[in-house]
Amino acid sequence: MRLRSNLLLGACIAGSLIAAAASIAQNAAAPGGVFKQCEVCHSVDGINGTGPTLKGVVGRQSGTVPGFRYSRAMKSAGITWDEKSLDRYLADPQELVPGNVMPFSGIVDSAQRAALIAYLKTI
């Protein structure tokens, strides 16, 4: 009886660990998957590309990365990038900053935006 209990307990623990690992993998992969759209133009290592680096974007004022040539609209937007402003921008960049030149129509799915913003907070 004790052996059966130990085996059952071991199976439950193993099942929980497998489920937890799958959940962690999905959560880690989600921002990266969404971020693939961004990394075409943006880096996370501090180097500007076609778009400005996204390293340190959370808390930064719009249009202020040194060495990047921003549109007039972005330079004058006066936005401090936080969760709320990033969510609005990522949903529809032209609505939040009319005249910006980023060729991106936005991310419709709010869960994907939230995952991306959570990722941006880590870089």
> What residue ranges do the domains of the chain occupy?
30-120
The yes-or-no verdict on residue 9 having pLDDT over 70 is: no
Of the candidates 65, 25, 38, 48, the residue with the CA atom closest to the CA atom of residue 120: 38
The yes-or-no verdict on residue 16 having pLDDT over 60 is: no
Using N-to-C axis directions, what is the helix angle for 110-120 and 2-35, rounded to 10°? 90
DSSP, res 80 = B
CATH number of 30-120: 1.10.760.10
The band of 69, judged by pLDDT with boundaries at 50, 70 and 90, is: very high
Give pLDDT, residue 34.
86
87-95: which pairs have CB atoms within 8 A and are 24 or more residues apart?
87/113, 87/114, 87/117, 90/116, 90/117
Instruction: Kindly report, residue by residue over 37-56, the tens digit of the pLDDT.
Output: 899 999 999 999 999 999 99
Q: What is the Cα gyration radius of the chain?
A: 20
SS3 27: helix
The yes-or-no verdict on residue 23 having pLDDT over 70 is: no
d(CA 121, CA 123): 6
The band of 24, judged by pLDDT with boundaries at 50, 70 and 90, is: very low
8 A C-beta contact, residue 11 and residue 98: no
Instruction: Kindly report, residue by residue over 94-108, the tens digit of the pLDDT.
Output: 999 999 999 999 999
Give pLDDT, residue 12.
38
